[in-house]
């Protein structure tokens, strides 16, 4: 775990006491364990389930949780995340479909991950270099999602 955190340059650390954690990672096989459930209920800490104990699987989960985009400058990542956050807010509050600015594939992937956290749907549209994300409001008609 510590090696993966270093590799991804994530500003996070492991703690011994689960009640001091801001995020708990658990193997899929242990996620339903009553002791894990009690800690989650007492602390309100979010749980991320890891399918396996491999470095690659842990890296996959941490990249999604921490919105890591390898090879992308921090300013570009921040701008793409802010664009997605604004679109998510509009989709939720105004219940409208919101197109985002064109982004490279690696940043669109981060935006898709962020949209998914809010239980909204999104799709990529257009051709490179103008390919961009479209965020749909909750309960968007399925024909709108397929377009």
Delimit the domains of the chain by residue range: 2-65, 74-146
Q: To which CATH superfamily is domain 74-146 assigned? A: R3H-like domain (3.30.1370.50)
pLDDT for 5: 86
Alpha helices in the chain (DSSP H): 2-7, 34-43, 55-65, 74-93, 105-117, 142-146
One digit per residue, the tens of pLDDT, for the chain of length 147 reads: 888 888 888 888 888 887 788 888 889 988 888 988 888 888 888 888 899 888 889 888 888 888 778 788 888 989 999 999 999 999 999 999 999 999 999 999 999 989 998 989 999 999 999 999 999 999 876 555 555
pLDDT for 62: 87
- Give the torsion through C-alpha atoms of 131, 132, 138, 144, to 10 deg: -30
């Amino acid at each position: 775990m510590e090696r993966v955190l270093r590799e991804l340059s994530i500003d996070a650390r492991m703690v011994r006491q689960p009640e001091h954690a801001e995020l708990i990672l658990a193997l899929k096989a242990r996620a339903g364990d009553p002791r894990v459930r009690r800690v989650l209920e007492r602390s309100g800490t979010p749980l991320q389930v890891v399918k396996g104990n491999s470095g690659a699987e842990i890296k996959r989960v941490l990249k999604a949780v921490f919105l890591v985009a390898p090879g992308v400058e921090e300013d570009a990542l921040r701008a793409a995340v802010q664009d997605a956050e604004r679109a998510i807010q509009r989709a939720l509050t105004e219940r409208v479909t919101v197109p985002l600015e064109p982004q490279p594939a690696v940043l669109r992937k981060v935006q898709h991950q962020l949209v998914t956290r809010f239980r909204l749907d999104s799709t990529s549209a257009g051709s490179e270099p103008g390919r961009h994300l479209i965020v749909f409001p909750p309960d968007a008609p399925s024909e709108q999602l397929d377009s």
